[in-house]
């Protein structure tokens, strides 16, 4: 994997070559990058100049997508003690989507469903899935219903 500085240098050279008349197809071959990357870099250059091609910090911003231990404890308590509709969420069961919505509602932190799945696993919880026979109680006895 190339360093951010080396990646920036390739972006700059590729865009300069295209501005100098090189075809995108040829730039893909010469710089060994995808056509989508060349197109994206060219568009970024047209919008923001050379500055838009500079290397930037990568990864998640500090504090984003993380919960402090006390926040995680509150979420676990809410999941185990209440149902989603009791905390004013439009869900019937605690799915990953419902947990993500609760985290955003309580703490303003947006997280992916994969992250929520990892949290649930770490907390020893499994996401609930609605039964295929939605609308029918799982404990329903067909003979008693017929009666």
Per-residue pLDDT in tens (0 to 9) along the chain, 147 residues = 788 899 999 999 999 999 999 999 999 999 999 999 999 999 999 999 989 999 888 776 665 568 899 999 999 999 999 999 999 999 999 999 999 999 999 999 888 999 999 999 999 987 666 655 555 555 667 777 776
Q: How many CB atoms lie within 10 A of CB 103?
A: 23
Q: Do residues 83 and 109 both lie within one domain? A: yes
90 shares a domain with 47:
no
* Residues spanned by the domain of 82: 69-122
SS3 content of the chain, % helix, strand, coil (to 5): 60, 0, 40
Nearest one of 108, 121, 117, 126 to 67, comparing CA atoms = 108
Question: What's the pLDDT score for residue 66?
Answer: 81
Are 79 and 115 contained in the same domain?
A: yes
Q: Which tokens go with 83?
A: 């149902």
Kindly state whether residue 77 falls inside one of the protein's structural domains: yes
Per the structure, the count of domains in the chain is: 2
């Amino acid at each position: 994997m190339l360093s951010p500085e080396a990646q920036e240098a390739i972006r700059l050279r590729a865009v300069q070559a295209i501005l100098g008349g090189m075809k995108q197809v040829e730039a893909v071959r010469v710089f060994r990058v995808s056509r989508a990357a060349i197109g994206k870099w060219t568009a970024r250059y047209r919008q923001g100049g050379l500055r838009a091609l500079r290397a930037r910090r990568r990864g998640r911003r500090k504090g984003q997508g993380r919960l402090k231990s006390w926040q995680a404890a509150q979420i676990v308590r809410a999941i185990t003690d209440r149902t989603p509709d009791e905390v004013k969420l439009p869900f019937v069961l605690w799915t990953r989507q419902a947990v993500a919505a609760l985290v955003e509602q309580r703490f303003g932190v947006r997280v992916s469903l994969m992250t929520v799945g990892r949290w649930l696993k770490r907390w020893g919880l499994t996401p609930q899935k609605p039964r295929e026979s939605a609308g029918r109680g799982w404990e329903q006895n067909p003979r008693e219903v017929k009666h």
